[in-house]
């Protein structure tokens, strides 16, 4: 540990307080950072990590509290102030200008000293940066043509280009491949070597263990504590984050009786993305879909839901063949799809909880051409209570809810529409640890009440915990179905990489 | 080499191809289409719409819209005429004031969008009506006139429209077009125009004062509306207050035909200028095959829809290719 040579803090944030229109986002939160160390900042979504970092980087201003930076009290009024002081951030959500080149993105705001641009010089500087990072990206390539991982690298290069003394990484690895993550960690090690202080926000405990020196935990806008990474158990960090222990074991055996009727049967489904997919789904069953990114799981879901066109194959619902040509047809047959990207495909976030909840079933709530507001209210209210959406009222705008509660609104939407077959695509992506277990509980309750569920997930522990059977795909084809009694991570991973020559390449979820 | 090809937008070829096809079509079927007078006519019709379109290209690239340019142009022109005829100011001074009026309206738009946070559509819609009303109020709804080629100050028409059969206006258009190209492609202002159109929040978070650059973009649009007013006055000499609506839509149509996305971030000035010429060739050409004015509007509408539809098809295909490429990369 390098703390001995410079145990002095380069950055101290003390008793930071911040309110947003009545919401107390940060309650006297503190953290401190030494030069040449990596500090993990962890907490559930909504714990205040991002707000804390936005205050540090001048995007927000603290209501109370003090920031000391290299011994001086500072106040950053805007992002530029913070940048000029040597504090850079790699945002969680990509903040790139898609139509500009990689180099143009990195040096936005610092093109040249005069009015005219100097493309050559920024291209050269960007090349040098990428070289230093051991990454091949053409500085003149437009960002929109890069993969998401490469886009993230461009963001990181931008932060590095400031020659910052403090760099904040806000969940940088979410979209990176294993190889890219290794590169990133190497870069972080080099920065630490140079004495740069690094704040690293992540949900991935293995990463925190791998690269951080200390861990600071926030919960509900409050400071919980700071520990040395080497002295702390992951279980303890999780406990600090959520204030309770929730680690649960994989499901022991299927809860579906073999006599349960088959509600969905898919035979020889083909499209340009998938080949010969056949499976059955029983009433009350949770069928897990495992596979690597790009294995074709979402594509199968979209075919069943009629969102994409199938070239051949038959779908039977409750024993009868159905012709699903569009999502409209699918919903008519009681199939609901919960997209992995809620905000884009699942919700109208600018509308209220109740408007969203009845979105799929509006024609059932119409009286003489007019929306029956009373009925909508009572139906929504009942479902909001049933799935336990935490919202001050059903008139609250969906965008003001947390990820877990937004997901519950989507679930209500399909329940109100009376869907008996629900396809959950990555239902817990972007949802924090505590809310995850609520979603699990809800899914189990739905299955027990006779709904049938297809659950697509990239997290194997999640699949093992929830599923009655697991259907594994690789490169668009079915490679095996495993009963929960026989399933373990190793077996699933073997099937998921069966066709692939590079069995571990781009594997995800094998934590 | 492939690099260069990759960087040229196909939409520009598409627009250029359409322009050539239209020209050839009318050259074959039109009466007297291939003649000096027709060409002068095509050029003359391209001046003021051209300047408007150049200005509004900046705004559209930044993801905004400026609906006020048409009436701002007319308002600037009538006020210039008023100062010239009623207040006997020298013509050169009037012309400078004309440009300043346009620029001021642009600043007004820019401040409304950036300081008051009004949506560009609304603020420029308001300005559109304010400018239209103001022109009428100041002139008492009396038509204002600029010197014709036969009066004193006849240099006006010669400098801004044509000298004999030489289209001086075209020289202005070319020169200003090149200057605008430099502004858009070689300066910070241009870079931030594209950047704001791509992702304004990202620009702001990069420490750039995005809102003042954005304001500047509307000022440029207003400036070009003022410039357009001079050429409008040169072409028509008599300016009727309270009009000018519709010119902004002609300009926006030209921008869109030229492949600039209304969502911002994508597009070019060369596309815009091609769009301007497509519209004036169409207008002049339809006349040469004997179709009256209403047909011109009709076909302009068709061209706008066709251009955008083609663009959408192209982007869809490009996305498809990109998606497939990414899947290949991931599975590799």
pLDDT at A378 over 50: yes
DSSP conformation letters of A310-331: -SEEEEEETTEEE---SHHHHH
> pLDDT band at B11, cuts 50/70/90?
low
If phi over 0 gives left and psi between -120 and 50 gives alpha, with beta otherwise, what is residue A481? beta
Tokens of B250: 């002609």
Beta bridge partner(s), residue A317: A264, A320
Residue A107 CA to residue A112 CA, distance in Å, equals 9
Beta carbons of A309 and A335 less than 8 angstroms apart: no
> pLDDT band at B96, cuts 50/70/90?
very high
Yes or no, beta carbons of A100 and B201 under 8 Å apart: no
Yes or no, beta carbons of B198 and A294 under 8 Å apart: no
Number of neighbouring beta carbons within 10 Å of residue A374: 10
Residue A317 CA to residue A306 CA, distance in Å, equals 14
Q: List chain B residues with CB under 8 Å of A97.
A: 194-195, 198-199, 202-203, 265
Beta carbons of A102 and A138 less than 8 angstroms apart: yes
Q: Residue B99's Cα: distance from chain center in Å? A: 15
Report angle CA B216, A154, A501 to the nearest 5 degrees: 145
pLDDT tens for each residue of A20-37: 766 678 888 999 999 899
pLDDT tens for each residue of B231-287: 999 888 888 887 777 889 989 999 998 888 888 888 899 999 999 999 889 888 888
pLDDT at A115 over 90: no
Yes or no, beta carbons of A97 and B202 under 8 Å apart: yes
Is the model more confident about A223 or about A8? A223
DSSP state at residue A142 = B
Q: Is A73 on the interface with B (CB under 8 A)?
A: no
- What's the gap in Å between the CA of B266 and the closest CA on chain A? 7
Mutate to test the interface with A, among B202, B203, B328 (most CBs of A within 10 A): B202
Residues 6+ apart with CB under 8 A from A138: A102
Residue A76: closest CA among chain B residues belongs to which residue?
Answer: B207
Residue B227 CA to residue B232 CA, distance in Å, equals 9
> pLDDT band at A46, cuts 50/70/90?
low
Residue B223 CA to residue B215 CA, distance in Å, equals 12
Q: Is B194 on the interface with A (CB under 8 A)?
A: yes
Element (H, E) at A20: strand A9-20
Yes or no, beta carbons of B195 and A104 under 8 Å apart: yes
Tokens of B218: 């509307």
Tell me what the mean pLDDT of segment A57-82 comes to.
90
Tell me what the mean pLDDT of segment A136-163 comes to.
87
Residue B210: closest CA among chain A residues belongs to which residue?
Answer: A109
| pLDDT, chain B, mean | 85
Element (H, E) at A482: strand A477-483
> pLDDT band at A1, cuts 50/70/90?
very low
Tell me what the mean pLDDT of segment A192-220 comes to.
88
Beta carbons of A275 and A307 less than 8 angstroms apart: no
Residues 6+ apart with CB under 8 A from A503: A497
Which residues, numbered 307 to 326 in chain B, qualify as contacts with chain A under a Cβ-Cβ cut-off of 8 Å?
322, 326
Residue A103 CA to residue A101 CA, distance in Å, equals 5
- What's the gap in Å between the CA of A155 and the closest CA on chain B? 11
Residues 6+ apart with CB under 8 A from A305: A324, A327, A330, A335, A337, A423
Tell me what the mean pLDDT of segment B28-53 comes to.
86
User: Which residue is it, tokens 């308002």?
Assistant: B75
pLDDT at B325 over 70: no
pLDDT at A278 over 90: yes
Yes or no, beta carbons of B203 and A108 under 8 Å apart: yes
Is the model more confident about B155 or about B229? B229
Model ipTM?
0.72
Q: Is B181 on the interface with A (CB under 8 A)?
A: no
Residue A222 CA to residue B261 CA, distance in Å, equals 46
Calculate the alpha carbon distances from A295 to A278, A292, A300, A476, B324 in Å.
15, 5, 10, 5, 13
pLDDT at A117 over 80: yes
The predicted pLDDT at position A249 comes to 65
Element (H, E) at A472: strand A469-474
The predicted pLDDT at position A422 comes to 92
Q: List chain B residues with CB under 8 Å of A111.
A: 188, 191
β-pair type (A469-474, A477-483): antiparallel
Interface contacts A/B by beta carbons within 8 Å: 80
Q: Is B229 on the interface with A (CB under 8 A)?
A: no
**φ, ψ dihedrals at A275, nearest 5°:** -125, 130
Calculate the alpha carbon distances from A7 to A3, A195, A210, A225, A326 in Å.
5, 11, 21, 19, 62
Element (H, E) at B144: strand B144-145
> pLDDT band at A388, cuts 50/70/90?
confident
Yes or no, beta carbons of B203 and A78 under 8 Å apart: no
pLDDT at A363 over 60: yes
Q: Is B117 on the interface with A (CB under 8 A)?
A: no
DSSP state at residue A345 = I
Tokens of A156: 């990181």
pLDDT at A316 over 80: yes
The predicted pLDDT at position A280 comes to 92
Residue A300 CA to residue A478 CA, distance in Å, equals 11
pLDDT at A314 over 70: yes
Calculate the alpha carbon distances from A380 to A347, A366, A368 in Å.
15, 14, 20
Yes or no, beta carbons of B207 and A506 under 8 Å apart: no
Yes or no, beta carbons of A117 and B197 under 8 Å apart: no
Tell me what the mean pLDDT of segment A164-173 comes to.
88
Residue A159 CA to residue A143 CA, distance in Å, equals 16
SS in 3 state form for A32-50? EEECCCEEEEECCCCCCHH
Which one of A83, A116, A140 has the shortest CB-CB distance to B207?
A83
User: Which residue is it, tokens 């600029």?
Assistant: B146
Yes or no, beta carbons of A96 and B205 under 8 Å apart: no
Is the model more confident about B228 or about B293? B228
Yes or no, beta carbons of B207 and A79 under 8 Å apart: yes
Q: Is A458 on the interface with B (CB under 8 A)?
A: no
> Helix, strand, or coil here: B242?
coil
pLDDT tens for each residue of A135-149: 889 999 999 888 877
Residues 6+ apart with CB under 8 A from B99: B76, B223, B226, B227, B229, B230
Residue A242 CA to residue A219 CA, distance in Å, equals 7
DSSP state at residue A101 = B
The predicted pLDDT at position B227 comes to 95
Is the model more confident about A9 or about A348? A9
SS in 3 state form for B16-59? HHHHHHHHHHHHHHCCCCCCHHHHHHHHHHHHHHHHHHHHHHHH
Lowest mean pLDDT among A126-135, A330-339, A360-369, B15-24: A360-369
The predicted pLDDT at position A369 comes to 74
Q: State the maximum Cα–Cα separation within chain B, in Å, rounded to a whole number.
A: 76
- What's the gap in Å between the CA of A198 and the closest CA on chain B? 19
Calculate the alpha carbon distances from A370 to A140, A351, A355, A380 in Å.
55, 18, 14, 17
Residues 6+ apart with CB under 8 A from A458: A292, A293, A426, A508, A509
Half-sphere exposure of A336 (CA within 13 A, CB side): 23
The predicted pLDDT at position B111 comes to 96
Is the model more confident about A48 or about A497? A48
The predicted pLDDT at position B310 comes to 78
The predicted pLDDT at position A173 comes to 78
The predicted pLDDT at position A295 comes to 83
pLDDT tens for each residue of B69-90: 999 999 999 999 988 888 888 8
pLDDT tens for each residue of B190-233: 889 999 998 888 888 877 888 999 999 999 999 999 999 999 99
> Is A359 exposed, middle or buried (CB count within 10 Å of its CB: 0-12, 13-18, 19+)?
middle
The predicted pLDDT at position A268 comes to 92
Helices (H), A225-372: 234-242, 297-304, 327-332, 353-357
pLDDT at A230 over 60: yes
User: Which residue is it, tokens 């955008």?
Assistant: B308
Yes or no, beta carbons of A293 and B330 under 8 Å apart: yes
Helices (H), A60-136: 79-85, 102-106, 119-132
Tell me what the mean pLDDT of segment B171-181 comes to.
93
Calculate the alpha carbon distances from A349 to A173, A361, A410, A422 in Å.
26, 17, 11, 21
Tell me what the mean pLDDT of segment A157-174 comes to.
86
pLDDT tens for each residue of A451-485: 999 999 887 788 888 999 999 998 888 988 998 88
The predicted pLDDT at position B331 comes to 46
Residue A298 CA to residue A381 CA, distance in Å, equals 31
Residue B328: closest CA among chain A residues belongs to which residue?
Answer: A294
Mutate to test the interface with B, among A109, A151, A162 (most CBs of B within 10 A): A109
Q: Calculate what percentage of chain B has a pLDDT beyond 90.
A: 39
User: Which residue is it, tokens 């241009």?
Assistant: B190
β-pair type (A262-270, A277-282): antiparallel
């Amino acid at each position: 540990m390098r703390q001995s040579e410079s145990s002095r803090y380069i950055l101290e944030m003390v008793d930071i307080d911040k309110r947003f229109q009545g919401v107390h986002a940060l309650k006297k939160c503190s953290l401190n950072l030494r030069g040449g160390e990596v500090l993990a900042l962890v907490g559930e979504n909504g714990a205040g990590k991002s707000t804390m970092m936005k205050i540090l980087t001048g995007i927000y201003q603290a209501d109370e509290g003090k920031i000391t930076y290299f011994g001086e009290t500072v106040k950053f009024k805007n992002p530029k102030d913070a940048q000029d002081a040597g504090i850079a951030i790699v945002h969680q959500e990509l903040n790139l200008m898609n139509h500009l080149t990689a180099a143009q993105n990195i040096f936005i705001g610092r093109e040249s000293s005069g009015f005219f641009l100097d493309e050559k010089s920024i291209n050269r500087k960007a090349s040098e940066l990428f070289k230093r990072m051991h990454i091949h990206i053409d500085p003149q390539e437009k960002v929109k043509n890069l993969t998401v991982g490469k886009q993230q690298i461009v963001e990181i290069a931008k932060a590095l280009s400031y020659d910052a003394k403090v760099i904040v990484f806000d969940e940088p690895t979410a979209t990176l491949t294993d190889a890219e993550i290794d590169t990133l960690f190497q870069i972080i090690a080099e920065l630490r070597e140079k004495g740069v202080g690094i704040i690293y926000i992540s949900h991935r405990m293995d990463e925190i263990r791998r690269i951080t020196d200390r861990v600071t935990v926030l919960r509900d806008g409050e400071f919980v504590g700071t520990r040395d990474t080497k002295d702390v158990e992951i279980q303890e960090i999780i406990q600090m984050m959520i204030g309770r222990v929730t680690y649960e074991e994989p499901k022991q055996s299927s809860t579906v009786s073999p006599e349960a009727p088959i509600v969905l049967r898919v035979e020889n489904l083909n499209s340009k993305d998938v080949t010969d997919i056949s499976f059955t789904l029983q009433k009350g069953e949770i069928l897990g879909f495992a596979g690597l990114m790009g294995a074709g799981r979402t594509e199968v879901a979209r075919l069943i839901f009629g969102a994409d066109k199938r070239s051949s194959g038959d779908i039977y619902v409750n024993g009868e063949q159905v012709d699903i040509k569009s999502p409209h047809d699918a919903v008519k047959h009681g199939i609901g799809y919960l997209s992995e990207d809620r905000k884009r495909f699942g919700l109208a976030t600018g509308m209220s909880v109740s408007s969203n909840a009845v979105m799929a079933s509006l024609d059932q709530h119409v009286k003489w051409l007019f929306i029956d507001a009373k009925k909508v209210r009572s139906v929504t209210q009942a479902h909001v209570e049933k799935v336990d959406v935490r919202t001050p009222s059903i008139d609250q705008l969906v965008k003001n809810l947390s990820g877990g509660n937004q997901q519950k609104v989507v679930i209500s939407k399909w329940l109100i529409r009376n869907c008996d077959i629900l396809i959950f695509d990555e239902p817990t992506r972007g949802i924090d640890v505590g809310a995850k277990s609520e979603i699990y509980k809800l899914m189990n309750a739905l299955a027990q009440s006779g709904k049938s569920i297809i659950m697509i997930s990239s997290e194997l522990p999640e699949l093992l915990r929830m599923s009655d059977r697991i259907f594994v795909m690789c490169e668009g084809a079915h490679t095996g179905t495993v009963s929960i009694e026989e399933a373990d991570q190793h077996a699933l991973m073997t099937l998921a990489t069966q066709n692939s020559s590079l069995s571990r390449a781009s594997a995800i979820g094998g934590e | 080499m492939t690099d260069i090809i990759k960087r040229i937008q196909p939409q520009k070829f598409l627009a250029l191809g359409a322009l050539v096809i239209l020209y050839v079509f009318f050259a074959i079927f039109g009466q007297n289409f291939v003649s000096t007078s027709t060409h002068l006519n095509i050029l003359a019709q391209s001046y003021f719409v051209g300047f408007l379109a150049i200005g509004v290209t900046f705004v559209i690239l930044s993801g905004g819209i400026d609906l006020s340019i048409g009436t701002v142009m007319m308002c600037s022109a009538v006020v210039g005429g008023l100062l010239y005829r009623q207040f006997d100011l020298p013509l050169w001074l009037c012309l400078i004031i004309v440009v300043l009026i346009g620029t001021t309206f642009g600043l007004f738009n820019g401040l409304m969008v950036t300081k008051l946070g009004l949506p560009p559509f609304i603020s420029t819609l308001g300005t559109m009506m304010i400018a239209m009303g103001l022109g009428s109020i100041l002139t008492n709804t009396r038509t204002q006139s600029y010197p014709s080629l036969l009066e004193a100050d006849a240099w006006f028409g010669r400098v801004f429209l044509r000298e004999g059969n030489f289209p001086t206006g075209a020289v202005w258009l070319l020169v200003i077009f090149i200057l605008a190209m430099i502004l858009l492609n070689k300066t910070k202002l241009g870079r931030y125009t594209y950047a704001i159109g791509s992702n304004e929040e990202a620009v702001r978070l990069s420490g750039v004062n995005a809102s003042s650059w954005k304001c500047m973009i509307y000022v440029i649009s207003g400036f070009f509306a003022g410039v357009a007013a001079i050429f409008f006055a040169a072409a028509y000499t008599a300016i009727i207050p309270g009009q000018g609506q519709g010119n902004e839509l002609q300009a926006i149509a030209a921008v869109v035909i030229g492949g600039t996305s209304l969502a911002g971030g994508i597009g070019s000035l060369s596309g815009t200028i091609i769009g301007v010429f497509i519209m004036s060739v169409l207008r002049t050409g339809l006349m040469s095959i004997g179709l009256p004015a209403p047909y011109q509007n009709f076909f302009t509408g068709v061209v706008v829809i066709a251009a955008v539809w083609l663009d959408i098809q192209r982007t869809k295909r490009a996305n498809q290719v990109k998606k497939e490429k990414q899947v290949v990369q991931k599975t590799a």
